[in-house]
């Protein structure tokens, strides 16, 4: 409590409490939200309460809707629905809200939700690409814009961010998250919650965030979507939970459960995680929405005997709102009437949902998100379109650039642009395109045409489709390549190959694209490859045979111009991989924070932890990404080489842009416990910052790393900090360490608060 609040409490609130003689007096002292909700709930019938817990899709089960059928309108009038999802449009939603507010008995406003994952109409890079920017400030900015556009179009609530850690690139939903690292995941989760929710949820341009899919959904066995998860409690705590904790601590107003079971316990029925951890340990105050039909799916999991049982278990476990299954509307009613569930349990969930509506300001003005003129003014604004291109530039990762092939000259005689993705305006929108439209996308081909000199000839040839076996276009592509001075070959996946229900059993280039690449490389014309894809692709052949490769993921509407800016040097790339790129599907899972093992992999020794038929390294490691300039790290100093719990380690070093052009570098801080009671990972990211330096510019970096960041779960499953030596490694990727040193944690083993989240602070001084 700050000083002024304390004085207020001392002189005003406490004396009122002392004087209060009746319940009514005490009510006056309640915060206005509680008082308002109490009095509303007193008026609500059980059916109306259950109505608040029910969420239905707009018009149909698939696609987003701007119309709604009469049956749904009847439900609204009867107060039997609390929320709709997959709906959009200020005008349309204004009308639905009007029915709720004017034609239902109690006039409780509806809350409208939509998957606004990387933009509403101005589509930004997919989340995996955005994580590769390693710039949370940039992600917060685009998320804010997404919220502004969504709010202007009648949406109060997004089902985002997806904060699932993903270690298996076969899993299609890896595209929706921030990759493999819990620290990066936590930082990006926080940035997105803050972006969506802004400073105050009651503003008309802020929307409720919903971190999902709680929890470990990304650990689906075999990378097969919706599959079971087997995970140790330690890994759950150290890898999968931290981004959720970060989102909760950042104030996320809601949360969604995963479809998965964890060690046999489906998440929709997981009281231990939904209530004991989320609410009791972490203090989450928002509401939990079930993922689509996941309450009914408890039947398929085989843990309930019927829908009534499913509803009872899910509500008891801690789910407050039922997305689409209808169980909370009907079956819970039966349970309460039979006395199987107490109405108090229903009340808890109802209160949480009404609180969210209250915080959004919907009881003050239910129509404030439904202003057609605001929608027209905000959606796809020029500055939003510009931000989309900026974000796209920041997300591109330069994987390889042998002998400085890139950047290309703008006055080349002829540039051949080959590959169907080059001319594809759907792919850059990626998975969850919300209301993004192809007409707003700049393709790679258009971007290149915009970038080159007026005398440069740009010739396009498709070569082949993304999928399928048709090679009839190879001949033309080869002849185009042969004629050209330079080839830009665009390869990868279509948008529908990643995302929900889009797991792949292979992670190489689909169709005959690899063969096309061989043919084009065989022409002898220099080739640079642009990859567009929603997951890491194993591309060993390209890596060995093509001099330059750009990883562009799906970059949103600004895609083509951003890629061209990087290709022709108007933007110096600085993105880094948020996920390891393995050499082959057989290497999965390959993530940088693995344990050392008793037999660490060694090239010289077969009897070590490795595959005998593959090199021991990944194709590209976590944190990797090149620039057109070089950076020199020097002068590492640790201010306090002996630290204890709750201290911060203070580090400084210098970094200089030693190349000829301005550029950015993501400085990465890793640590390793030298000896611990539980085998530590070989490295762990505990801080990073993307910095922009002019050529020749040198700056001093100061880092303050809370020692508690090093906490881990010991044998007794207590989160602890153990005394001993810790190595620090500072570098340009997880494999490119430029400076290292060590420090010592002193004192006894100490316990660390599991409900706290820690971040390193990094500042840049120009001296």
The answer to whether 240 contacts ligand BGC (rule: CB under 6 A) is no
Closest distance to ligand BGC from the beta carbon of 764 (Å): 37
Minimum distance between the CB of residue 115 and ligand BGC, rounded to whole angstroms? 5
Residue holding tokens 């404030």? 368
Q: Which pair of tokens denotes residue 418?
A: 């080959």
Answer for the pair 431, 124: CB distance below 8 angstroms, yes or no.
no
**Sign of the CA dihedral running 689, 694, 696, 697:** negative
Closest CB to ligand BGC among 212 and 672? 212
CB of 85 to ligand BGC, least distance (A): 6
Nearest to ligand BGC of 260, 627 (CB atom): 260
| 167 token code pair | 């270690």
Nearer to ligand BGC, 55 or 335 (CB): 55
Q: How many residues bind ligand BGC (CB under 6 A)?
A: 7
Q: How far is the CB of 59 from ligand BGC (least distance, A)?
A: 14
Alpha-carbon span 432 to 500, nearest angstrom: 9
Q: CB-wise, 84 or 183, nearer to ligand BGC?
A: 84
Work out whether 261 is an interface residue with ligand BGC (CB under 6 A). no
Residue pair 140/186 in contact by the 8 Å Cβ criterion: no
Q: Strand (E) positions, 545-626?
A: 548-551
Residue 372, helix vs strand vs coil: helix
291 forms part of the interface with ligand BGC (CB under 6 A): yes
Q: Which residues contact 535 (CB under 8 A, 6 or more apart)?
A: 128, 169, 170, 171, 172, 174, 175, 493, 498, 504, 507
Per DSSP, 367 falls in state T
Please state whether beta strands 761-765 and 698-706 pair in parallel, antiparallel, or not at all (unpaired): antiparallel
Asked if residue 164 binds ligand BGC (CB under 6 A), the reply is no
Cα–Cα distance for residue pair 654/656, rounded to 1 Å: 7
Question: What are phi and psi for residue 516, nearest 5 degrees?
Answer: -60, -45
Check: CB of residue 655 under 8 Å from CB of residue 631: yes
Indicate whether 244 belongs to the interface with ligand BGC (CB under 6 A): no
- C-alpha 757/C-alpha 737 separation (Å) is 26
Which of 115, 164, 225, 291 is an active site residue? 291
Rounded to an integer, what distance in angstroms lies between the CA atom of residue 611 and that of residue 603? 10
Q: Which is nearer to ligand BGC, 320 or 665 (CB)?
A: 320
Choice between 82 and 447, CB closer to ligand BGC: 82
CB of 292 to ligand BGC, least distance (A): 4
Interface with ligand BGC includes 568 (CB under 6 A)?
A: no
Residues 6+ positions from 70 with CB-CB distance below 8 Å = none
Q: Does 500 interact with ligand BGC (rule: CB under 6 A)?
A: yes
As to burial, measured by CB atoms within 10 angstroms (0-12 exposed, 13-18 middle, 19+ buried), residue 707 is: buried
**What six digits make up the tokens of 539?**
């591309």
- Taking CB under 6 A as the criterion, which residues in 640-679 touch ligand BGC? none
Closest approach of ligand BGC to the CB of residue 448, in Å: 35
Distance in angstroms (rounded) separating the CA atoms of residues 517 and 506: 18
Helix residue ranges per DSSP H, 612-714: none
- Closest to ligand BGC by CB, 211 vs 680, is 211
**The tokens 């993004």 sit on which residue?**
436
Cα 212 versus chain centre, distance: 9
Query: What is the C-alpha separation between 298 and 31, in angstroms, rounded?
Result: 38
Cβ at position 576, least distance to ligand BGC in Å = 26
> What DSSP assignment string belongs to 5-32?
HHHHIIIIIHHHHHH--SHHHHHHHS-H
Smaller CB distance to ligand BGC: residue 236 or 256? Answer: 256
Angle at 158 between CA 154 and CA 162, to 5 degrees: 165
For the bound state, the minimum distance from the C-beta of residue 200 to ligand BGC, rounded and expressed in Å, comes to 25
Q: Is 14 exposed, middle or buried (0-12, 13-18, 19+ CB in 10 A)?
A: exposed
Is residue 115 a contact point for ligand BGC (CB under 6 A)?
yes
Q: By C-beta, is 85 or 667 nearer to ligand BGC?
A: 85
**String of contacts with ligand BGC for each residue 195-224, x by CB under 6 A:** -----------------x------------
Q: Which residue is nearest to ligand BGC (CB)?
A: 159
Chosen residue from 84, 92, 157, 159 binding ligand BGC by CB under 6 A? 159
Nearer to ligand BGC, 157 or 571 (CB): 157
Residue whose entry in the numeric block shows the structure tokens 């890139």: 406
Longest dimension (CA), the chain: 93
**Structural tokens at position 179:** 């990759």
Closest separation in Å from C-beta 713 to ligand BGC? 28
Window 297 to 356, contacts with ligand BGC (CB under 6 A): none
**C-alpha 512: how far from chain center:** 31
Our CA angle for 586, 590, 596, nearest 5°, is 120
Q: How far is the CB of 159 from ligand BGC (least distance, A)?
A: 3
- Contact string (CB under 6 A) for ligand BGC, positions 388-427, x = contact: ----------------------------------------
**Is 292 an interacting residue with respect to ligand BGC (CB under 6 A)?**
yes
| Token pair recorded at residue 52 | 């608040």
- Which lies closer to ligand BGC via its Cβ, residue 225 or residue 309? 225
470 has catalytic annotation: no
Strand partners, 2: none
Chain position carrying tokens 């850690």: 165
Min separation Cβ 35 and ligand BGC, Å: 33
Residues in contact with ligand BGC by the rule CB under 6 A: 85, 115, 159, 212, 291-292, 500
Instruction: Name the residues annotated as catalytic.
Output: 291
């Amino acid at each position: 409590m700050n000083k002024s609040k304390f004085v207020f409490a001392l002189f005003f609130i406490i004396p009122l409490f002392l004087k209060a003689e009746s319940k009514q007096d005490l009510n006056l002292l309640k915060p206005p939200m509680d008082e308002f909700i109490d009095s509303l709930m007193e008026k609500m019938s059980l059916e109306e309460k259950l109505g608040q817990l029910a969420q239905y899709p707009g018009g149909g089960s698939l696609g987003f809707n701007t119309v709604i059928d009469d049956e749904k309108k009847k439900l609204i009038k009867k107060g039997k629905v609390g929320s709709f999802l997959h709906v959009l449009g200020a005008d349309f939603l204004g009308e639905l809200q009007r029915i709720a507010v004017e034609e239902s008995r109690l006039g409780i406003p509806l809350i409208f939700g939509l998957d606004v994952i990387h933009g509403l109409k101005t589509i930004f890079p997919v989340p995996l690409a955005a994580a590769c920017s390693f710039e949370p400030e940039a992600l917060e900015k685009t998320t804010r814009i997404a919220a502004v556009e969504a709010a202007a179009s009648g949406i109060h609530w997004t089902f985002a961010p997806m904060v699932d850690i993903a270690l298996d690139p076969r899993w299609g939903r890896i595209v929706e998250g921030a990759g493999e690292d819990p620290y990066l995941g936590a930082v990006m989760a926080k940035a997105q919650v803050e972006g969506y929710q802004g400073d105050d949820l009651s503003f008309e341009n802020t929307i409720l965030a919903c971190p999902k899919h709680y929890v470990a959904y990304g650990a689906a066995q075999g990378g097969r979507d919706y599959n079971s998860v087997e995970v140790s409690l330690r890994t759950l705590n150290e890898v999968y939970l931290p981004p959720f904790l970060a989102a909760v601590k950042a104030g996320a107003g809601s949360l969604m459960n995963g479809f998965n079971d964890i060690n046999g316990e489906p998440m929709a029925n997981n009281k231990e995680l939904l209530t004991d951890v989320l609410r009791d340990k972490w203090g989450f105050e928002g509401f939990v929405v079930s993922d689509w039909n996941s309450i009914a799916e408890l039947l398929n999991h085989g843990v309930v005997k019927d829908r009534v049982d499913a509803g009872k278990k899910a509500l008891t476990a801690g789910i407050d709102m039922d997305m689409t299954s209808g169980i909370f509307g009907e079956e819970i009613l039966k349970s309460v009437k039979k006395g199987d569930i107490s109405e108090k349990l229903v009340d808890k969930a109802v209160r949480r949902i009404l609180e969210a509506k209250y915080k959004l300001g919907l009881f003050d003005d239910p129509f404030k998100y439904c202003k057609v003129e605001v929608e027209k003014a905000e959606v796809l604004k020029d500055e939003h379109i510009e931000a989309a291109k900026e974000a796209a530039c920041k997300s591109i990762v330069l994987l390889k650039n042998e002998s400085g092939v890139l950047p290309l000259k703008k006055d080349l005689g002829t540039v051949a642009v080959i590959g169907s993705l080059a001319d594809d305006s759907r792919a850059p929108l990626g998975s969850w395109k919300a209301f993004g439209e192809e007409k707003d996308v700049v393709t790679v081909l258009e971007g290149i045409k915009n970038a080159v000199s007026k005398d440069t000839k740009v010739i396009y040839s498709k070569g082949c489709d993304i999928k399928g076996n048709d090679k009839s276009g190879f001949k033309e592509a080869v002849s185009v390549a042969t004629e050209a001075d330079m080839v830009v070959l665009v390869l990868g996946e279509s948008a529908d190959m990643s995302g929900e229900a889009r797991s792949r059993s292979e992670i190489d280039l689909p169709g005959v694209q690899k063969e096309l690449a061989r043919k084009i490389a065989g022409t002898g014309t220099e080739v640079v490859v642009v990859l567009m894809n929603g997951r890491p692709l194993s591309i060993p052949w390209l890596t060995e045979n093509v001099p330059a490769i750009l990883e562009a993921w799906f970059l949103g509407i600004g895609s083509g111009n951003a890629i061209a800016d990087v290709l022709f040097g108007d933007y110096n790339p600085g993105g880094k991989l948020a996920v390891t790129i393995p050499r082959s599907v057989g290497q999965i899972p390959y993530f940088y924070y693995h344990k050392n093992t008793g037999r660490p992999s060694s090239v010289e020794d077969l009897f070590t932890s490795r595959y005998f038929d593959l090199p021991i390294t990944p194709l590209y490691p976590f944190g990797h990404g090149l620039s057109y300039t070089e950076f020199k790290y020097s002068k590492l100093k640790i201010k306090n080489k002996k630290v204890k719990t709750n201290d911060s380690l203070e580090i400084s070093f210098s970094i200089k842009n030693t190349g000829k052009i301005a550029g950015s570098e993501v400085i990465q801080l890793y640590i390793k416990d030298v000896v611990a009671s539980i085998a530590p990972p070989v490295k762990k990211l505990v801080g990073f910052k993307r910095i922009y330096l002019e050529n020749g510019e040198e700056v001093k970096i100061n880092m303050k790393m809370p020692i508690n960041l090093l906490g881990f779960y010991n044998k007794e499953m207590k989160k602890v900090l153990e005394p001993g030596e810790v190595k620090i490694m500072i570098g340009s990727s997880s494999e490119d360490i430029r400076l290292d040193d060590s420090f010592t944690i002193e004192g006894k083993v100490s316990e660390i608060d599991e409900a706290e989240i820690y971040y390193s602070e990094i500042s840049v001084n120009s001296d």
